[in-house]
Each structure stands twice: as C-alpha cells, then as structure tokens.
A and B are shown apart, each in its own frame.
Chain A
Amino acid sequence: MKIWGKAGYGVTGGALAILFLFPLLWSGYASLRTNSGFGLENYDRLFTSDNGIRLHHVVNSFTVSALTVGGTLVVATLGGYAFGRFRFPGRDALFLLTLAILMVPYATILIALYVLLGWLGLQDSLIGLSLVLIMFQLPFSLFMMRNSFEAVPRELEESAQVDGCNSFSTLLRIMLPAVRPGLITVGLFAFLASWNEFFAPLILLNSTDKFTTTLAVVNMRTASHGSIDYAALEAGVVFMAVPCLLLFAFMQRSYVRGFASGALKG
C-alpha cells in the first residue's frame, strides 16, 4: 500500500521485527548469562536444584508426545480414509460431531474428563493424558486427512484393486505414500500441541514424578514462595522451545499448509 512508502515500510517492519524477535533472543542470552560471564550454570541448576526438572520429566514429555502423535496419526488416517473414500451410515453425523469438539473448548470438559479417567483407571496416567490430547487433535487432523484422501486420484486406488489388493493393503501400499504431506502436517501439529500443553496435564496429572517438562518448569515458578530462580527458569524456557523452533525451521511449509486449509474452512 502507498501509505507505507518504501522507507516507511522498512522502518516499521524492521522495528516490529526487532520487537518480536527480542524476547526470544533475550531468553537465550539470559539462560547463558552467569555471574562470571557466560556458561551453562543455569542449565545445571535447572536439572539439579530441588524444584528443578529431572530426566524422567523429559522422558514423560517425550512419551506423551509420541503417544499423542502416533495415536492421532492412526485414528486420523483410518478415519480420513473412511470419510474420504467410503459411504456408511452415520458418516455425516460423526464428522460434524468431531468438528463440534472445536466448539467445546478444553477447560469446560476437563473436570469431567478427570472423573471419567478415574473410572477407567487412567487417573494420573500418561496414557490417559495422551488419549485426551488425541481427542482434542481429532477435529483438525480428521479434516486434514479426509481432504488429503479425497485429493488422491481414484484411478490409483482402482488399479491397486484390479491387482487384487484389498482395501487395507491399498491403504498401506498406495494411499499412505500419496497422503504423506498431510500426515506430516498432522504429526507436526500433534507434536507441538502435546509437547507444549499445560492445562490438560495440570488437571490430569497429580504426582510430581508423572509431570511433563512443561509442568515441571512451571512448578519451579509456582512452588517457589520466596525468590524465583529466573535464570534457571529461562534455561527451562529455552530447553522447551528448542525442539519446536528446530521443527519450525525445517517444516514451516507443512505448518503453513495445515494452516491455510484448516483456518479457511475449519
């Protein structure tokens, strides 16, 4: 637009970019800054202080993320294949019901999920938490996979069936490679959501040794009554953010694709 003259555009854009990047750069700086210069002391305290995080918290986080990504991929792939390629009774109702999850956010049903998981013997359990996270990922994932399957040319599938493949081996051998971009996007979203999730684990996990890293790092802040170890906290922030930033750097295309299709129509 003309009101942003060339210089105006450069100055405004540059200033805004600095404002947006500054907090990220600062947290990296603060996490490395020590009394005597720079070093990894803050990271050391992050992992060794009384309130700090432990290796099992990191393992818990990876477990929950792996279960959520794996579960979401399996359910959404089978579901996407069903909705994209088959007609069956209740098809439209189930699809609408799944999308309705978007309308009923988190906080309102987590209390009930807490009670429900107790009945199922999954209270304070990483599996229970993962099942809930998979459910919350379903609207986006199912939508994405249905569109991916619909976009695969029908001839591809038919030629496989002529060769004697049943529907499942067609799915495995022919369809899965064709919907790979969709799978990557769905997996990426499921990872980012489960790795960073705070509210669901806060409610569903009780014992500190079940905590995910996010919970454990936040616990360093909320469990401290006097002084907060800010430098170790920033080390925790960086530790949590690095996997996500790396994924972003390499998979931005997949992220934006998910966005463009999900945001416009979801």
Chain B
Amino acid sequence: MQIIIAFVAGLLMSIGIAVSMMIDPAKVLAFLDLSGNWDPSLALVMAAALAVYSVGFHLVRGKPAPLLAEKFQLPSVTKLDKPILIGAAVFGLGWGLVGYCPGPALAALSAGSPATLVFVLAMIAGWYLARRWPLPH
C-alpha cells in the first residue's frame, strides 16, 4: 500500500509540474530572468502548492501518526549551517543556467531529449560526489 501511495504522490507531483509548465526550462528561465520579458507564472505555481501544503500539513501533523507508517519523519537538523547555505547557492547557480531543478528534469525524461538525459546523469553524478565529499559543518 505504501508503494502505491508513493507512486500516486510522485504521479500527482509530476502532473502538476507538467500542467504548470514548470517542466519547460524556457518557462522557468522566463521567471528567473528579470532582464527580459518576465513571466510571473512560477510564483503562482509555488503559491498554490504552498497554500495546499501548509494548510494540509498543519492539519495532518495534529494526528498521532501518518495513515500508513509508524511516525512522521521530519528533519532533525534545524540549525542554519554551512552546507545548507553553500548547497542552496550552488543549486541556484545550476538552476539559473539551464532552468531545470530535479523534479522537472526527471519528469521531462519521458520526452526523450538527449540534453535532459545528460542533465539528469550529471545531476546523479553530483549527488554521488556530494555523498563522497560532504561539506564540513
């Protein structure tokens, strides 16, 4: 049952990524690039996702446990440390260069574009390297 729900959750998220056109890096760059013909759409994608999630999360969090698991697994680190500050900046750098963040890049794989595949493979290599060489706190 966990597997089916996880599948549906991933499906819903990538349907959202596709319908909102976040799957199109040109659309994302049109939001990030303030110098050209600015497209504010992405701000509304985030606003809608946040409205649903923040209300839902606080309703769900009041329950003793999730429906299909023993406990809620929330990050234990709450401090602002070097890895999160540097990591977020490095991510922003890559995001601004091409317009892909991980979700849309994975979702776009089905289009069969070699560039998307190369981006995803490079991203996986990045994940591997960061696991090999974690940043000191």
Whether both chains belong to one complex is answered with no
